[in-house]
Amino acid sequence: MFKILTFSFLLFCSFGCKNIDEKQFSYDEIQDAVAKKEEKSPKFALVIHGGAGTILKENMSDSLENAYRAKLEEAIRTGYAILEKGGPSLEAVMRTINVLEDSPLFNAGKGAVFTHEETNELDASIMDGATLNAGAVAGVTHIKNPINLAYEVMENSPHVLLAGKGAEEFAQTRGFDLVDPSYFYTENRFQSLQRIKEKEANKTAALWDPYIKNSKFGTVGCVALDKAGNIAAGTSTGGMTNKRWNRIGDSPIIGAGTYANNNTCGVSSTGWGEYFIRALVAHDISALMEYKGLTLQEAAAEVIQKKVPTLGGDGGVVALDREGNIAMEFNTAGMYRAYIDINGELYVGIYK
């Protein structure tokens, strides 16, 4: 009886539906429609840092904290808007970093720290996780946005890293306007240099001096995952206050300050550059994921909480993997940081 009723119902549906809608669909068409309906939106996300160090709530005025939070949010939303419209991760990284470079709050671009000779020497790098292509500049003194020049080195030269006058000659061939070094002058950065020099003159400075230690922080960086699944990472810095002899840290060194690989993750570092170079921090996080099967968070913690401190260094990283997972790992009291994740949720943080 049940079989007869079922058969009758199917006959009714067949002829009844045909009367309602003459269009017939094949099995493949129905399956395609279901697949499209269930298809998830492409994942995209963005994470940034503005430097790590002894950043304590008790040392921060409410107005200054609000200024940092506002600028971090402005930067992260700038890059996210590009990704949201389907733009490439490389563009999102560059434009996000531009916002931070143009702010005197951070040790990059406009807010770059001073060398011992009272000049500003800037470094930057960028990497494309789809191709493993990369570009970097070091020791430039007339480039308003060094991350843009790093991008030009990657896209329009056969090289990876250009330095000093040569980098600026290349910049002019690419249509860059060189700015007067006075553009980078900020009073608070200049006074920071004077305080360190005074300590040196009085022989009261030591490597462990907290003021000296934190003179190297403030680097900015960004990692982005776009809708096409491509990861890009970039880093920009003014380096270390009171640096001499054209010292170059980890920021323009691919594998130390910046790394991106679509198969694993993208990383931007901030910290004591000499140790981040020795530890190859950015690449090491990627390698731990690729060769040992660690998650992004596990790899970042392994390098920042174990490897770097064992060598004697400190600092942090922001990182993003191909699934949109985010890591913001640091072993200092604070790190300026922000992200907008794959769910569109915004986070801005400063302290531990």
Output phi, psi for 283, to 5 deg.
-70, -35
Is residue 340 very low, low, confident or very high in pLDDT (cuts 50, 70, 90)?
Answer: very high
Question: In Å, what is the CA distance from 76 to each residue of 97, 185, 196, 280, 338?
Answer: 9, 25, 33, 26, 7
Mean pLDDT across the stretch 228-241? 97
Reported in sequence order, the residue ranges of the chain that DSSP labels E, i.e. its strands, are 45-53, 122-128, 134-140, 161-163, 220-225, 231-237, 258-260, 265-271, 315-321, 326-330, 334-340, 346-351
pLDDT digits (tens, 9 = 90+) for 146-167: 999 999 999 999 999 999 999 9
Is residue 298 very low, low, confident or very high in pLDDT (cuts 50, 70, 90)?
Answer: very high
Distance, CA of 34 to chain centre? 37
Q: Collapsing DSSP states into helix, strand and coil, what is residue 144?
A: coil
Query: What's the confidence (pLDDT) of residue 25?
Result: 52
| Length of the chain as a residue count | 352
Q: Where are the domains of the chain?
A: 2-38, 45-351
Residues near 227 by beta carbon (within 8 Å), at least 6 away in sequence: 42, 43, 44, 83, 86
Query: What's the confidence (pLDDT) of residue 41?
Result: 85
CATH architecture of structural domain 45-351: 4-Layer Sandwich (3.60)
Instruction: Name which of 60, 94, 58 is nearest 79 in CA terms.
Output: 94
Is residue 243 very low, low, confident or very high in pLDDT (cuts 50, 70, 90)?
Answer: very high
Dist. CA 141–CA 164, nearest whole Å: 7
Mean pLDDT value across the chain: 89
Output phi, psi for 76, to 5 deg.
-65, -35
Q: Is-contact 45 322, C-beta < 8 A?
A: no
pLDDT digits (tens, 9 = 90+) for 177-189: 999 999 999 999 9
Instruction: Name which of 291, 250, 283 is nearest 266 in CA terms.
Output: 283
Mean pLDDT across the stretch 45-54? 94
Query: What's the confidence (pLDDT) of residue 201?
Result: 82
**Tokens describing residue 210:** 């907290």
Q: Is-contact 77 46, C-beta < 8 A?
A: no
Dist. CA 233–CA 224, nearest whole Å: 7
Percent of the chain with pLDDT over 70: 84
pLDDT score of 206 more than 80: no
pLDDT score of 334 more than 50: yes
Is residue 133 very low, low, confident or very high in pLDDT (cuts 50, 70, 90)?
Answer: very high
Catalytic residue numbers, as ranges: 219
